[in-house]
Structure 1
Amino acid sequence: MDVDSSPRQIMSMEDSLKENTEKDRMEEEDPFSKEMPHQDAMKVIKEGIEEAIGDDPLLCDLPTDVTPEEVSLQVALEYGQAMLVNVCREDGEVMPIVVLQGASVLDLKKAIARYISLKFNREGITKSVSWRFVWRRYWLSFGGHNLTQDNKLIKDYGIKNKDPVTFVKRLKGKGAGY
């Protein structure tokens, strides 16, 4: 420091040193101020989400790698804005599919495809499903009636919350729709 420095300059330098020291102390206390690798940050976020979901009675049934869409559908289900449709496969597996109250048959089919896709991803299965093939070979059926019109609302078929819908093999032959 210069001998000729004025008291103002000295005070200014002291203030600057104090600010820098405070800034350093704040960075040490704040875990988010330091940079971390992307995977570490994702791990911290995932652990936080798991903790929040596990503690919430509304969301505790959801998987740990939940998507935002699954959360919003679960909340809508709790508020009565959505319904649960139990889709039964031929092998006996029951798939709990959540759709909004005003869903069409096409919306239900898309929800089934989304459910299977998420299930495969979570189980590490790399197999893909040709949904065009599935819907050409099978109907969805409720109460002995096939859900033949994609644009028709599922509630128009009489489907209510927690009702079972099954896959039924389409019959081959004239008028089978191919």
Structure 2
Amino acid sequence: MEEPSEEVPGEHNAKEGEEMSRMSDMTPAVAYGDEEDVETLTHADILDIFEEGLARLVQDPLLCDLPIQVTLEEINSQIALEYGQAMTVKVLKADGEIMPIVVVQDASVLDLKKAIRRFVTLKQQREGGMRHISWRYVWRSYNLVFQGEKLEDDRVRLKDYGIRNRDEVTFMKRLRKK
């Protein structure tokens, strides 16, 4: 009967030593002590490299309809759409513009409102016009309406209102009560 070997911290057995030597063969050829071999990149250079890689990434057929300055959240939303874990709700503004808003399948009205806020904020950043929007005012002054029914309760799921993928929700001005 073999006795279990006790491992002393800091000491390596023969198998670990072989494994470590194999791993050291996989390390980059650049020695960290040799400053002349290390290539230094500026922040701008790294950003350029990253944006080139990102541009190649969004050429993928799955992600081709995303903007060049895509965010991680937009990529994850697009992937969730492809896997059927999310849906697109078309939000129609009074000026006729349609905003394609991506939310998860079991999203609530509040989730839709937050997604609209993120969409508008990203759109403003990309267009360069960064003005402040009071979302408290927006939700106090406008309702989201689906087939004549106001989406007033933020806790109710969109599916409970009958909203499915690619359905259209409208911004409608609230009537003032006198």
Q: Same fold (TM over 0.5)?
A: yes
Alignment partners' CA distance in 2, 1:79 and 1:72: 11
Q: Which residue of the partner structure matches residue 162 of structure 2?
A: 158
SS of 2:143's partner is strand
Give per-residue Cα distances to partners, 1:77-107, cap 9 Å, x unaligned. Answer: 0111000000000000000000000100000
Note the C-alpha offset of 1:34: 1.2
- C-alpha separation between the residues in 2 aligned to 1:81 and 1:141? 24
Q: Which residue type is aligned with residue 109 of structure 1? A: K
**Mapped partners of 1:47, 1:129: distance in 2:** 33
Amino acid at match of 1:49: L
1:124 maps to: 128
- Alignment deviations for residues 134-160 of structure 1 (CA, whole Å, 9 cap, x no partner): 000000000100000001101100000
Amino acid at match of 2:174: R
Query: Mind listing any 5+ residue stretches in structure 1 that lack a counterpart?
Result: 1-21
User: In the alignment, is residue 110 of structure 1 matched against residue 114 of structure 2?
Assistant: yes
Which secondary structure state, in structure 2, belongs to the residue aligned with residue 84 of structure 1? strand
- C-alpha RMSD over aligned residues: 1.6
Structure 2 length normalisation: TM-score? 0.78
Separation in 1 of the partners of 2:96 and 2:57? 33
- 1:17-63 Cα offsets, whole Å, 9 max, x none, are xxxxx758xx9xx9xx5111011111111111101211x11001000
1:57 maps onto 2:71 in alignment: no
* Deviation by residue 1:90-133 (Cα, 9 ceiling, x = unmatched): 00000000000010000000000000000000000021111000
CA gap 1:23/1:69 in 2 versus in 1, 3 angstroms: closer
Distance in 1 (CA, whole Å) between partners of 2:163 and 2:130 is 33
Amino acid in structure 2 at the alignment position of 1:86: K
Larger Rg: 1
In structure 2, the gaps of 5 or more residues are 1-28
1:69 aligns with 2:73: yes
Q: 1:37 aligns with which of 38, 42, 54?
A: 42
2:6 — aligned with what? none
Between the aligned partners of 2:122 and 2:130, the Cα distance in structure 1 is: 11
Amino acid at match of 1:44: I
Matched residues in 2 for 1:119 and 1:103: separation? 22
Letter aligned with residue 141 of structure 1: V
- Equivalent-residue separation in structure 1 for 2:109 and 2:30 (angstroms): 59
Partner in structure 2 of residue 16 of structure 1: none
CA distance in 2, matches of 1:138, 1:114: 17
> Any idea what SS the aligned residue of 2:58 has?
helix
